[in-house]
Amino acid sequence: MNFNLTDVQQEFVKLAKDFGEKKLAPTITERDHQGIFDRALVDEMLSLGLAGAYFEEKYGGAECDVLSYILAVEELAKYDAGMSITLSAHVSLCINPIWQFGTEEQKEKYLPGLIEGTKLGAFGLTEPNAGTDASGQQTVATKDENGDYILNGSKVFITNAGEADVYIVFAMTDKSQGTKGISAFIIEKGWEGFTFGKKEDKLGIHTSQTMELVFQNVKVPKENLLGGEGKGFKVAMMTLDGGRIGVAAQALGIAEAALNDAVEYSKQRVQFGKPLCKFQSVSFKLADMKMKIEAARNLVYKAAFLKHEGQPFTVDAAIAKRFASDVAMEVSVEAVQIFGGYGYSEEYPVARHMRDAKITQIYEGTNEVQLMVTSGALLR
């Protein structure tokens, strides 16, 4: 196994790092504190070509690899975790399922705009009564006399909602079939009857937008069924497998940012006549944080590698997501501890890292779900 990044992969890191340093870092505190989803900044990020890393050139992609994209998500998360999930939801949860399950007509229609970044994507699976148990979908799609679908229901907690132009939405087309009665659809913003409800007031990732989707007799052309009728649950689960690598990369970036901040602070802050880093209890804490981050990195990159190679990666993605998100939480909490009272103040970024880290243990399947996936595969 080669542990060196290729020139192309390094180029993706550089693109994201430059954007992070020049465009995200100067305004992150203000955008975080005011809860600003900055669409102009999102458009600028997408215009860098980060969304197209592993898709074919004919759709506007760069035909590189999954790891290049994952590296970009990780790098962005160091500067702005909300921005990194905006990209991850756009690529992993919207572009990827169209690319993986779409007809050629659907790919030609939707992929170029999404990959070039003139359009933003989202994914709507979660409902008020269907969270971890996504099989309990109450949104329904009934066929009309022309074979088109009429969609009714709602989705909650949807990343990029309101701003996104294209949505992958799941609904029951045949309740009697259970999960085999769930279908996936490509829905466009602006269609009659499709509106947005409550905007979430969140603990962290304030620069990412999370809203409710509401469908009232929305007519969905039959051409917008994704992956075939009754195949929606499979589309959702396979899409989330990939999404978990994006969340794991986001967690890795948050953890790295928290460690970097803690290292710098420990060199500057003087107590008892010497910098904090000269106390072994602090320097050993930093060493442990670093060790956990490096272990997480290997799991995250391996899952990205397997996805790119077309090998099974469901369990690797689940393990990487659970481990990296737990590391992000542990490391960011320790970083706050090293900052002492200043860590608890919003004047310093470690408080933000800790708030942002928490969500990585919850979305794209909670960390309990990752245990179900892993133990299920072990005990099969």
Nearest CB to ligand FAD, comparing residues 65 and 80: 80
Each residue 175-214 as x (binds ligand FAD by CB under 6 A) or -, in order, gives ---------------------------x-------x----
Cβ contacts of residue 257 below 8 Å, gap of 6+? 77, 78, 79, 349, 353
Q: Give, as one character, the DSSP assignment of residue 55.
A: S
Smallest gap from Cβ 189 to ligand FAD, in A, equals 15
- Binding ligand FAD by CB under 6 A: which of 6, 132, 177, 217? 132
CA-to-CA distance for 141 and 139, rounded, in angstroms? 7
Alpha helices in the chain (DSSP H): 7-19, 28-34, 39-46, 66-79, 81-88, 96-101, 104-116, 232-268, 280-309, 314-339, 349-359, 367-378
Contact 12, 67 (CB under 8 A): no
CA-to-CA distance for 380 and 378, rounded, in angstroms? 6
Cβ contacts of residue 317 below 8 Å, gap of 6+? 241, 242, 244, 245, 248, 303, 307
Q: How many residues bind ligand FAD (CB under 6 A)?
A: 18
Determine, following the binding rule CB under 6 A, whether residue 366 of this chain makes contact with ligand FAD: yes
Is position 116 annotated as part of the catalytic site? no
| Cβ atoms within 10 Å of 273's Cβ, excluding its own | 6
Nearest CB to ligand FAD, comparing residues 123 and 339: 123
Each residue 143-162 as x (binds ligand FAD by CB under 6 A) or -, in order, gives --------------xxx---
Q: How many residues does the chain have?
A: 380
- Binding ligand FAD by CB under 6 A: which of 9, 88, 106, 126? 126
- Binding ligand FAD by CB under 6 A: which of 25, 103, 362, 374? 362
- If you search the block for the tokens 């359009």, which residue do you land on? 119
Question: What stretch of H or E contains 121?
Answer: strand 121-124
Determine, following the binding rule CB under 6 A, whether residue 250 of this chain makes contact with ligand FAD: no
Determine, following the binding rule CB under 6 A, whether residue 343 of this chain makes contact with ligand FAD: no
Nearest CB to ligand FAD, comparing residues 157 and 305: 157
Parallel, antiparallel, or unpaired for β 210-220 and 149-159? antiparallel
Nearest CB to ligand FAD, comparing residues 88 and 106: 88
Smallest gap from Cβ 240 to ligand FAD, in A, equals 8
Applying CB under 6 A, the span of 263-271, 306-314, 326-334, 364-372 interacting with ligand FAD comes to 364-372
Residues 73-92 touching ligand FAD, rule: CB under 6 A, are 89
- If you search the block for the tokens 């992929």, which residue do you land on? 111
Smallest gap from Cβ 287 to ligand FAD, in A, equals 31
- Binding ligand FAD by CB under 6 A: which of 28, 70, 125, 255? 125
Residue 166's nearest CA partner among 151, 183, 188 is 188
Determine, following the binding rule CB under 6 A, whether residue 124 of this chain makes contact with ligand FAD: yes
CA-to-CA distance for 268 and 276, rounded, in angstroms? 8
Catalytic, out of 127, 212, 256, 364: 364
- Binding ligand FAD by CB under 6 A: which of 63, 288, 346, 368? 368
Q: What is 173-240 written as a DSSP string?
A: S-GGGGGGGEEEEEEETT-TTEEEEEEP--SS-TTS-EEEEEEEEEEE-GGGEES-TT-HHHHHHHHH
Nearest CB to ligand FAD, comparing residues 97 and 124: 124
What are the C-alpha distances in Å from 126 to residues 9, 78, 137, 373? 33, 27, 8, 18
Smallest gap from Cβ 121 to ligand FAD, in A, equals 10
Smallest gap from Cβ 113 to ligand FAD, in A, equals 19
Nearest CB to ligand FAD, comparing residues 106 and 159: 159
Applying CB under 6 A, the span of 39-47, 125-133, 288-296, 335-343 interacting with ligand FAD comes to 125-133
Residues 18-37 touching ligand FAD, rule: CB under 6 A, are none
Please, what is the end-to-end C-alpha distance for the chain in angstroms?
A: 29
CA-to-CA distance for 337 and 327, rounded, in angstroms? 15
Nearest CB to ligand FAD, comparing residues 5 and 237: 237
Binding site for ligand FAD (CB under 6 A): 89, 123-126, 131-132, 157-159, 202, 210, 359, 362-363, 365-366, 368
- The residues annotated with a catalytic role in the active site are 364
